[in-house]
Amino acid sequence: DVKVTQSSRYLVKRTGEKVFLECVQDMDHENMFWYRQDPGLGLRLIYFSYDVKMKEKGDIPEGYSVSREKKERFSLILESASTNQTSMYLCASTGGSGSPGANVLTFGAGSRLTVL
Amino acid sequence: AQSVTQLDSQVPVFEEAPVELRCNYSSSVSVYLFWYVQYPNQGLQLLLKYLSGSTLVKGINGFEAEFNKSQTSFHLRKPSVHISDTAEYFCAVCPGNTGKLIFGQGTTLQVKP
């Protein structure tokens, strides 16, 4: 089974701090995604990546950046955390177009970030 | 642009009763359709998917969904729910072969004894 691991389940940070959320997948998936989950809003796509060193903006990229230096790792960065970034962050991955399981996301357990 | 609407934010139901969670979508291109479940303090887990073929799709834990192209709907059903089905359920669409899923707002299923 595909495993997507998010390094931190719970984080508490202060306004203005730089925050790194790490995500690693172990099935050689080409595509990786970062979503933000808020009550009543469902999941909203922040950034995604179809390949190493590639990144594309999702629907709500403001205040975030990402890094994909290796195929298995996709990091979400909050350059200067703000209270409105308090949320649950979910990482997901999927195989590339034409591969088995393409378009079927496998999610990590989530990282709940609180910004004070 | 694509969008997904889950018509009920909360669905309370008694144990062993049937349930239907409603999902409608809009898209100008063909889509793949998914239902995911999220148990408390966990990530999302795939329940079922429609990629092509039969419009009635069976998933895990006794759930099924029917793709209705004319109604642009993908409602999730279970004939008899258990307490353990209490969770949040998300409907999602993927336009074409992009891998980018668009999610609905979620429906909380509350199964009462």
Residue from B103, B107, B108 whose CB has the most chain A CBs within 10 Å, to mutate:
B103
Which chain B residues are within 8 Å of A33, Cβ to Cβ? 99-101
pLDDT of residue A68: 97
pLDDT of residue B43: 87
Question: pLDDT-derived band of residue B27, with 50, 70 and 90 as boundaries?
Answer: confident
Kindly report which listed range (A101-105, B7-11, B105-109) carries the lowest average pLDDT score. A101-105
The token pair that represents A69 in the structure block? 């230096």
Sequence spans of domains, chain A: 4-115
Kindly state whether B10 is in contact with chain A, defined as any CB-CB distance less than 8 angstroms. no
CA atoms within 13 A on the CB side of B93: 25
Supply the DSSP string of B15-35, one letter for each residue: TT--EEE-EEEE-SS-EEEEE
Question: pLDDT-derived band of residue B2, with 50, 70 and 90 as boundaries?
Answer: confident
Enumerate the β-bridge partners of residue A75. Answer: A67
Average pLDDT of the residues of chain B = 93
Question: pLDDT-derived band of residue B100, with 50, 70 and 90 as boundaries?
Answer: confident
Kindly state whether B103 is in contact with chain A, defined as any CB-CB distance less than 8 angstroms. yes
What letter does residue B105 receive in the DSSP assignment? -
Give the containing element (helix H, strand E) for B102: strand B102-103
Instruction: Answer whether A115's CB lies under 8 Å from A93's CB.
Output: no
Mean pLDDT of A14-35: 95
pLDDT of residue A100: 64
Sequence spans of domains, chain B: 3-112
Mean pLDDT of A45-63: 94
Residue B46 to residue A105, Cβ atoms within 8 A: yes
Instruction: Answer whether A71's CB lies under 8 Å from A28's CB.
Output: yes
pLDDT at B41 over 70: yes
Superfamily for domain range B3-112? Immunoglobulins (2.60.40.10)
Which chain A residues are within 8 Å of B36, Cβ to Cβ? 107
For residue B100, give the nearest of A41, A48, A90 by CB distance: A48
pLDDT at A1 over 70: no
Residue A40 to residue B9, Cβ atoms within 8 A: yes
Whether CATH 3.90.730.10 fits A4-115: no
pLDDT of residue A95: 80
Residue B105 to residue A40, Cβ atoms within 8 A: yes
Query: Per residue in B51-74, pLDDT tens?
Result: 888 899 999 999 999 999 999 999
Query: Per residue in A61-115, pLDDT tens?
Result: 999 999 999 999 999 999 999 999 999 999 999 887 776 667 788 999 999 999 9
Backbone angles phi, psi at A79, to 5 degrees: -65, -40
For residue A102, give the nearest of B34, B43, B99 by CB distance: B99
Which chain B residues are within 8 Å of A41, Cβ to Cβ? 105
pLDDT at B113 over 90: yes
**Displacement of CA A53 from its chain's centroid (Å):** 15
Q: Search chain B and give the residue with CA nearest A6.
A: B43
Shortest CA gap A12–chain B (Å): 17
Instruction: Answer whether A95's CB lies under 8 Å from A101's CB.
Output: yes
| Beta carbons within 8 Å of B53's beta carbon, 6+ residues apart | none
